[in-house]
Structure 1
Amino acid sequence: MESSFAVENSDQLVEAVTWAAAEQQPLEVIGRGSKRALGRPVQAGHSLDLSRLTGITLYEPEELVLSARAGTSLAEIEAAVAEKNQMLAFEPVDLSPLLGGAAGGGSIGGVLACNLSGPRRIKAGAARDHFLGVESASGRGEIFKSGGRVVKNVTGYDLCKLLCGSYGTLAVMTDVTLKVLPRPQKTYTVLVLGLDDATAVKAMSRALGSPHEVSGAAHLPAGLAAGSAVSYVAEAGGAVTAIRLEGPGPSVEYRCAALRRELADLGDTEELHSRNSLALWQELRDVRPLWVQEDKGPERAVWRISVAPSEGPEVVAAIGQGEAFYDWGGGLVWLALSAEGDAGAGRIRDVLRPGGGHATLIRAPLEVRAAEPVFHPQDPAMAALSARVKDGFDPCRVLNPGRMYAGL
């Protein structure tokens, strides 16, 4: 029977991890539990519950820096920075509804552990680019710190970058420090209507290569656009390609008009303002197009595929099944297909092998996640490097063992 260690401070955390290492007892590290179904199933008889490690410990809006304990809810942090007209610019994804939970259920530690970044990544960078400092406990039960409260911090190794995206397999974060940025005054979205996937990628590439400072570029095929909660998108009657522009009001209005002229030869254009524009990009951020209509049929597996933007439509066509939409100018493909068998793993890996790219199985039944590689398979050299890094931080293999790769 599984037991849980609910820690409230660093001392209790160190005590729990030290015990686990001494007794060779693996721990499943859990923030608020919203992403427990993401990754391979962890084979552990005990869990380490960080949900009581909460609270914003420092927020200096004028310095654009915020610190919080790792179990603090993302919703609390976003509400605090919104009061000061600021934001987390990497636009953290909320996967809770996709994974069967309630919206807003994640923690800031979980967001960073999984390096979850939304549509603005093409302009603002990933979560790890905004991760300034961390206090963590290694698998030895030793507390260590890295980084600080400024962007140009060059003291020691930048372990923040290493821990971000490690899914809790290297260390347990207790406190994190992030860069925040001012919220844009206006958010408009240019819609190009009726494009096929390949032409949509061409439109997004043209927009991203323009001087108009695009902060989001995504494409919804007709079937997925029809399920949007934004009426202008749902009633478009076909595919919708969305290009986001943000900033001061007059600048956004000028750039929006200019971009519409530059894309007019590809198809009819419309634009979204304010609330509708924000709502559409939240849908895209949280992968809503792939889960909102699932009451109409069986649950599907969901894949996150990263490729060169120009290759996205070709990859989807080669896979030849499921429903997909595109983000990051075509470089990020969200694909839903049948969860039966291997959930398409073999086919997807075969398609990606010649041209590169990688695919992560974001959602699938537990038995599929246990049997198939959830994260893209590593070549022997990278696998050996990953094992050495794991040995350095967690030699007893007690932190989320097997969450990313078997044996790690």
Structure 2
Amino acid sequence: MRDDMKPLNEEHLRECVAEAVAGGAPLEVAGQGTKRGFGRPAAADRRLELSALSGIRLYEPEELVMSAGAGTPLDEIEAALAAKRQMLAFEPPHLGRIYGHAQAGGTIGGVFACNLAGPRRFRAGAARDHLLGFRGVSGRAEIFKSGGRVVKNVTGYDLSKLVCGSFGTLAALSEVTFKVLPAPEKTWTVLVFGLGATEAAAAMAEAAGAPHEVTGLCHLPAAIAMESTVDYVAGAGTSVTAIRVEGPGPSVEHRAGALKAMFAGRGGVEELHGHRSGEFWTEIRDVQPLLGRDRALWRVSLPATDGGAWLDRAMAETGGDGYLDWAGGLVWLAVAPGDDAHAAAVRQGLNGGHATLMRAPDGVRRRVPVFEPEATPVAALSRRIKEGFDPKGVLNPGRMVEGV
């Protein structure tokens, strides 16, 4: 690969893309490069690094809104919010460790480009639900913007939803504007021990439907629970189903007590408070229980009621290990890479869901569809959208689909 291009501002970014268009030289679009292993290897000659487009441009805590350069480190965003007792409610995961990067969080632009969300996703929504607007450069080398600082400013086509999850194939983002929310006063986690995956999925559905406003629901089989750094979890010697409640102190204590009473007859119960509770959910958010395993990693989204049975079947057929998040609607599964990372077995029985190959050797990611294959009409629509934003195919070509 030839020398990287590192634009210093939005106009410089436009010039870099214009040069690529004129020379027919595709670009690999990246922030800090922490997620280069996420998606197919880009068929690009040069790297367009956006890390210099950094810095918080606007932060109005009383209005619950922030704007930042797309290359701003996620750690910087979260530190500024924490100083004002605020947060990104969709709890973006720091996935860099999956790919061996010390800078695990990457950039705020990467969070939205990949539409990342953590354990609170089933309650707070995805990253795209929190993006108010953005600025960027299309593959036509044109600066454009969409949305604004408040939802009522969003008129016409909601391009924010389109850009989220496009992995830099439609635009190189220069700035993003997003909603923030107050951080909870207290966070406790109720642990239920000894449930099987199918039984745990039913229990999580019951907890989600109860009037206790839970914000995290996950299930770790015994082998995965042992990988935790939280003593109550690692030392349980059995599976652990976790239920998180957040909010004002008295309310959290009352709801945690009600949940303990609800599940007391189904196995042992325990509570995690304060630091331990936060440490546990950070592990779940960042997929830490599966990091020490030299295996391919799948992220599978499917109906929450199917998650437990699907996990049991997939582990039996692949010899892999995994756990449930999002109340059972998300499965993380680690399997031996092989020639195809067990793609056929993983993509069975998804019942309308989809499976994403999050980590595997480059050769496997070139052979296996990394993202769930689209139906023919949807694939044709995706191709037309790509051609509309990037007719010469210079932005991250092949990152999501071979040849596009």
Q: Shorter-chain TM-score category? A: over 0.9
Partner of 1:407: 403
1:368 aligns to what SS in structure 2? helix
Please give the root-mean-square deviation of Cα atoms over the aligned residues, in Å: 1.0
Paired residue for 2:385? 389
Q: Give the match for residue 301 of structure 1.
A: 296
Name the CA shift for 1:30/1:393 in 2 (closer, same or farther; >3 Å).
same
Aligned to 1:114: 114
Q: 1:325 is matched with which residue?
A: 323
CA contact (8 A) 2:190 2:256 kept: yes
Paired residues for 1:171-250 under 5 Å: 171-250=171-250
Per the alignment, in what secondary structure is the counterpart of residue 119 of structure 1?
A: coil
Q: Distance in 2 between matches of 1:249 and 1:105?
A: 29
> Structure 1 stretches of 5 or more lacking a match?
none
Q: What is the CA-CA distance between 1:263 and the residue it aligns to?
A: 1.5
SS in 1 for 2:137: strand
What amino acid is the match of 1:122?
F
User: Which position in structure 2 is the counterpart of 1:312?
Assistant: 307
Paired residue type of 1:333? V
Deviation at 1:356, TM superposition (A): 2.2
Alignment check: 8 A CA contact 1:32 1:105 kept: no
Q: Is the contact made by 2:199 and 2:308 (CA closer than 8 Å) also made in structure 1?
A: no
Tell me which amino acid in the other structure corresponds to 1:336: A
Cα deviation, 1:121-150, whole Å, max 9, x if unaligned, reads: 111111111101100110000011101111
- Which of the numbers 338, 341, 349 marks the counterpart of 1:340? 338
Once residues 112 and 356 of structure 1 are traced to their aligned partners in structure 2, the CA distance between those partners, rounded to angstroms, is 24
Report the AA paired with residue 308 of structure 1. P
Counterpart of 1:287 in structure 2 is 287
- Asked if 1:91 is matched to 2:94, the reply is no
- 1:49 matched residue in structure 2: 49
What amino acid maps onto 2:327 in structure 1? G
Contact 1:318 / 1:351 at 8 angstroms: preserved in 2? no
The answer to which of 69-78 and 44-53 deviates more is: 44-53
3-state SS of the aligned residue for 2:28? strand
SS of 1:98's equivalent in the other structure is helix
Amino acid at match of 1:384: A
Query: Of the candidates 371, 383, 395, which is equivalent to residue 367 of structure 2?
Result: 371
Q: How far apart are the structure 2 equivalents of 1:83 and 1:128?
A: 24
TM-score by length of 2: 0.98
SS in 1 for 2:243: strand
Question: 1:22, CA displacement in angstroms?
Answer: 1.8
For normalisation by structure 1, the TM-score amounts to: 0.97
CA deviations on 1:270-303 (whole Å, 9 max, x unpaired) are: 1110000000000000000101x33xxxx10000
Q: Does 2:367 align with 1:362?
A: no
Distance (whole Å) between structure 1 residues aligned to residue 308 and residue 255 of structure 2: 28
Secondary structure (helix, strand or coil) at the match of 2:237 reads coil
Separation of aligned partners in 2, 1:261 and 1:341: 48
- TM-aligned CA deviation for residue 105 of structure 1: 4.3
The runs of at least 4 aligned residues of structure 1 exceeding 4 Å deviation read: none
Shift in Å, 1:103: 4.5
Map 1:63-82 onto structure 2 (within 5 A). 63-82=63-82
Partner secondary structure for residue 54 of structure 1? coil
Matched to 1:155, the amino acid is: T
Q: Secondary structure at the match of 1:132?
A: strand
Which amino acid counterpart does residue 396 of structure 2 have in structure 1?
N
Aligned AA (2:120)? R
Q: Which runs of 5+ in 2 are unaligned?
A: none
Give the whole-Å Cα distance in 2 for the aligned partners of 1:227 and 1:152: 46
Tell me how far apart the structure 2 counterparts of residues 124 and 264 of structure 1 sit (CA, whole Å): 28
Contact 1:220 1:326 in 2 (8 A): yes
CA offsets 1:19-39 (integer angstroms, 9 cap, x no match): 111221100001011001110
Aligned amino acid, residue 331 of structure 1? G
Q: Counterpart of 1:91 in 2: which secondary structure?
A: coil
Alignment deviations for residues 293-319 of structure 1 (CA, whole Å, 9 cap, x no partner): 33xxxx100000011111112222333
* Conserved? CA contact 1:3–1:45, under 8 Å: no
Deviation per CA, 1:229-265, whole angstroms, max 9, x where unpaired? 0001111110000000000000000000011111222
> Equivalences for 1:114-193 in 2 at 5 Å?
114-193=114-193
Q: Distance in 1 between matches of 2:127 and 2:45?
A: 31
Aligned equivalents of 1:314, 1:230: Cα separation in 2: 27
The aligned residue for residue 16 of structure 2 is: 16
Question: Structure 2: how far apart are the matches of 1:140 and 1:112?
Answer: 21
Corresponding position of 1:253: 253
Aligned length: 401
Q: C-alpha offsets along residues 196-217 of structure 1, whole Å, 9 cap, x if unaligned?
A: 1011111101100000001000
- Secondary structure at the counterpart of residue 3 of structure 1: coil
